Structure 1
C-alpha cells in the first residue's frame, strides 16, 4: 500500500537523496507512521531507521539542509538527532537486540529492517514507510499493525512475555498507549504484564513517571490507572493509591471506595484543565484518607485531618518517585491541603470573612482550587449535583466580590514592619510580628478595611494595648 501523502514534507526527499548517495536503505518508522494512519496529525518527532549507519545518514542530511545544522550524536546508542523547522529527526541504524535479565539496556548489533521491526514494542509502532526510490511511501507492516489499528488493539510483535520481560518499561508504555488512544490491550499481552509486573523494579523512577505524566495528560486518565490496578503494577508504583481501594462495613455503615472515586475526580478535572500538576493534585487529593480512616458508633466512618496528612504524603511520594521537589510539588501539596476548604464554605452560609481567608491562603491558586473542588463532585444524584454546583457558583461569586473590594490575594499589610518600628521606636522584636499579625487578622475578619489609614489607626491602638508607647506621644 502506498502512502506518499505521508511523505510530502521536503525533508523526506532530502533523506531519500542522502540515503541514495550513501547507498543505504532508509525508512520512517514508529510513531510518525502510526499517527499518520490514525489521522492524529503528523507527529513532530520522526524516527528514521536505515540499513547502515544512522550517524552517517544524519550528517549527510544536515549537509544538504540550508544553514548550519547541528547534529547531536549518541555514539553509545548509534543514534543521531537533528532539529529542522520545528521537527525533531532521530536517525538510527537498523539493529537487533538481546537482553540481560537485570537490565533493560540491550546488547545491540547491526541488523536488517526486519530485525529492527522485531525489536519494536507494539505492532502499531513497528510499521514503516519506505523512503527508497523504487518503493517511496510503501507501508511495510510485517505484524499486521494496520489491522490492530483498525481493531484498536495493543499487541506485541513477538511473544508478549519476551517483550515485557526484556524491557519492562513496555508494560507502562502499553498502558499509556491504551489510555492515550483509547485502545484495548490484547488479553495475552495483558496477562503477560500481570505475570511480569515484578520486573518493573528494574526501571528507573524517572522513566516510570514520564509514562504516568502521559497517562495523566490523556483525555480519560482513569483508564490507565484502572489498568495499573488490574495488572498489579499499582501497589508497586503508587501504594498510597492502592491503599484507598475497598469498602469497609461496620454495624451496617460503609464508606465509598476512595480509589475509584479518585479516578472519577481525575477524569472530571481532565475535562476542564490541561494543567498537569492540577491533575496530579486530583490524583492525590484523598491519599490521606487511608491512614486517617476511623470508625466510631457516634460518627461512623471519619477521615479527620486527611488533607493535612495527605499533603505531607505528597512530599514523600514525589521524593520516592524522584519527581521535582520544587514549586510544582508545593502547588500539589497546597491543593491537597486545601481541597476541602471550598466544600465547607459551600455547605454553610458563605461569610465574607471565610472567603477572605480562603483567598488569602490560596493566593493565585484560588481558581485552581475551585476547579479541583468542582471536579470532586462525583455524586450520581442529579439533585445533589445541581445543589453542589450552585453552591460553588456562589462561592466563586463571593470570591470575585470580596477580591474586588478587599484585595486579599497576595496580601501585603498596608502598614510595614519598618513603620511599626519607627512609630514605637522599636528594634527588630517579637512585638512587630504580633502587631502585623493582628492587622492581618483584623482585615481578614472584616473588622477594618484593607486600607492604610484604617490599618495605621489599628496599629496604634494595638501597640498601646500591648504596652508600647508611640514616639509622637
Structure 2
C-alpha cells in the first residue's frame, strides 16, 4: 500500500510543516486521513497532532492563508479546527498562489471567511476540515467517558487511539518528513482487513464504550472483520454502552445505515449484544417460530436484507430508516391462526404508530423526516396489494393521493421488500410492480391526483352554508374527496359543487351564500 495525496493536500501539509517548524513543535498527520489514503478512500478531513499546543499551531497555520480562515477552538479540550472551502471541487491548476510579506506562499480564495453576516459559516461539501490537537495521554473514571487529559508524547497519543488502523501517523517534520509511524502494525491490519485495538481491548472499551459502536461501524463501512479477541471484549462490555449519550449512539447508527452494506453492522450489533440495549425493538424481530409445522420467516434478517436491497438503489438516509422500520410492528401483531398459520394483521398501522416514539427515543429529527418514515411504514403494503388484484383507477388514485411526492420512494421500498430466494417469484413480483408503476403514471397523467386537494375546501363549505368549523364541514369535504377518488364524479369544481349540494340537502343544510367561492 502507498499513500496517494493530491497536490493540494501536499501543499497544505507543507504549510502545516513550516508553521510547526517555526513554533518548534513536532507535528504529524494521524488517524482516519492516513487510513483512508492507504485504502484509496475519499476523505475530507485531516487530524494533526503536535507535541505542543494544538490551538497555537492552528492559529499559526491560519496566518499562512489569504484570506485568513477563522479558527474554531475549544480551550478546555485543547483542540482547534480550520476549514478550507472549495478544496476538492477545483483542479489544482485553478488555485492561485500569491506571495505574502514574509515570503511564504498562500492559497488565495481557498480559506473559509471568518463568518457571514448571520454569524454562521456555510458548510462546504467540498471543504477540507483540519483539526489540530496537542499529543496527550488520558485516564478514565469507570462511570464516565470523559477522560482526564494530560500532555503527552506521540507514543502516548497513539496508545490512546481506538484501533490499530487509526493509530498510524505520518511525520511532517524535516528530519523524517513523510515517514509512516506505525507502532501497532496498522498497515498490516489494513491489508488483512482486521479491526483490533492497539492495547488490551478490555481497557480500550471500558475507558470509552463508544469505541464498541465505532468498531462495528468501521467493519460495516470498510467490510472488515473484527478480531476475535476484540469482538469478545465488545460482548463482555456491551452493558457499558449505557453511559454513552443517545446522540452519540444514534450518530453511529446513522453511519452504519449509510454504509454500502448496512446488514454487516446491524448483525454485528445483534451478535455482540449491543443491539439488545440500544434498539431492543429490532431484536424483537429475531427468530422464526413454528406451530403444527407452520412457521414464518425471521423478520430481523429479512429486514436487514431489505435495508441492503434499498441501499443498492439510494443513499437517502431516511429511506434507509424506513426500510429498517418497515416491519417494526410485526412482533406486537404476531398471532397464530389454527389451520392458517402466522399472521401480522395491521402491522403497518402499528409500526407507523411506533415510529414517532422510536424517533423520540433515538433523538432523531421530529420534523418532515419523521413524517416521511412514518408514511412509508404505514403505506408499504399498499403497492404490494395492488399486484394481487385487478388494478382499478380508484385504488391508484388513493395511493397517489396518500403517498404524494413520496410515491417513488414508496415503490423503491416495496421492491426492496422482495427477499424471496425463489428467482421466478422475484421476477413475477417485479413484473407486477412494473405494471403498478405503469398504472401510476397513466392515472397521474390523466387525473393529476398527486398532492391533490379537493376543489371544494372547508372554507367554501362554511361560507356557502354559514357554518363554523364543525364535524359536518369535515364530513362534507371527505365525501367530496372520496367521490372523486372513487371516480364517482369528475375532479372539477362544478362536479364537486353539484355533489356537495346533493349531500347538503340530505343533511337538511340551507344555502346562505350561493355566490361563495372561497376567494
Normalising by structure 2, what TM-score? 0.88
- 1:67 aligned partner: 67
- Whether the 8 Å CA contact 2:2–2:38 is kept in 1: the answer is no
- Whether the 8 Å CA contact 2:333–2:345 is kept in 1: the answer is yes
* Superposed displacement of residue 237, structure 1: 1.1
* Superposed displacement of residue 44, structure 1: 1.1
SS of 1:460's equivalent in the other structure is helix
Select which of 307, 327, 330 maps to 2:368: 327
1:23 maps to 2:64: no
1:36 maps to 2:77: no
Deviation per CA, 1:25-65: give whole Å up to 9, x if none.
00000111011100113x11110000000011001111121
Distance of 1:217 and 1:260 partners within structure 2: 18
- 1:78 aligned partner: 78
* Superposed displacement of residue 426, structure 1: 4.0
* Superposed displacement of residue 6, structure 1: 6.1
- Whether the 8 Å CA contact 2:209–2:241 is kept in 1: the answer is yes
Matches within 5 A, 1:357-372: 357-372=398-413
- Whether the 8 Å CA contact 1:95–1:116 is kept in 2: the answer is yes
Q: List runs of 5+ in structure 2 lacking aligned partners.
A: 86-126
- 2:506 aligned partner: 465
- 2:113 aligned partner: none
- 1:265 aligned partner: 306
* More off after superposition, 128-137 vs 115-124: 128-137
* Superposed displacement of residue 449, structure 1: 1.7
Matches within 5 A, 1:56-205: 56-85=56-85, 86-205=127-246
Matches within 5 A, 1:397-416: 397-416=438-457
Structure 1 residues 92 and 439: alpha-carbon distance in aligned structure 2, compared to 1, 3 A threshold = same
Distance of 2:273 and 2:233 partners within structure 1: 11
Count of matched residue positions in the alignment of Structure 1 and Structure 2:
472
Deviation per CA, 1:193-243: give whole Å up to 9, x if none.
111111111111111110110110011000001101111111111111101
Distance of 2:446 and 2:4 partners within structure 1: 62
- 1:417 aligned partner: 458
Normalising by structure 1, what TM-score? 0.97
- Whether the 8 Å CA contact 1:3–1:138 is kept in 2: the answer is no
Distance of 2:182 and 2:146 partners within structure 1: 26
Distance of 1:427 and 1:277 partners within structure 2: 40
* Superposed displacement of residue 421, structure 1: 3.5
Structure 1 residues 55 and 352: alpha-carbon distance in aligned structure 2, compared to 1, 3 A threshold = same
Distance of 1:5 and 1:444 partners within structure 2: 59
SS of 1:103's equivalent in the other structure is coil
Deviation per CA, 1:306-340: give whole Å up to 9, x if none.
11111122222222222222221121111111111
Distance of 2:276 and 2:132 partners within structure 1: 37
Q: List runs of 5+ in structure 1 lacking aligned partners.
A: none
Matches within 5 A, 1:245-394: 245-394=286-435
Deviation per CA, 1:55-107: give whole Å up to 9, x if none.
11001111121113211111111101111131111000000111111111111
Coordinate RMSD, CA, aligned = 1.6
- 1:14 aligned partner: 15
SS of 1:347's equivalent in the other structure is coil
SS of 2:170's equivalent in the other structure is strand
- Whether the 8 Å CA contact 1:99–1:106 is kept in 2: the answer is yes
1:53 maps to 2:53: yes
Distance of 1:251 and 1:4 partners within structure 2: 61
Structure 1 residues 345 and 5: alpha-carbon distance in aligned structure 2, compared to 1, 3 A threshold = closer
- Whether the 8 Å CA contact 2:322–2:373 is kept in 1: the answer is yes
Distance of 1:132 and 1:195 partners within structure 2: 41
Distance of 1:97 and 1:468 partners within structure 2: 78
SS of 2:63's equivalent in the other structure is helix
Structure 1 residues 312 and 416: alpha-carbon distance in aligned structure 2, compared to 1, 3 A threshold = closer
Distance of 1:23 and 1:366 partners within structure 2: 61
- Whether the 8 Å CA contact 2:5–2:37 is kept in 1: the answer is no
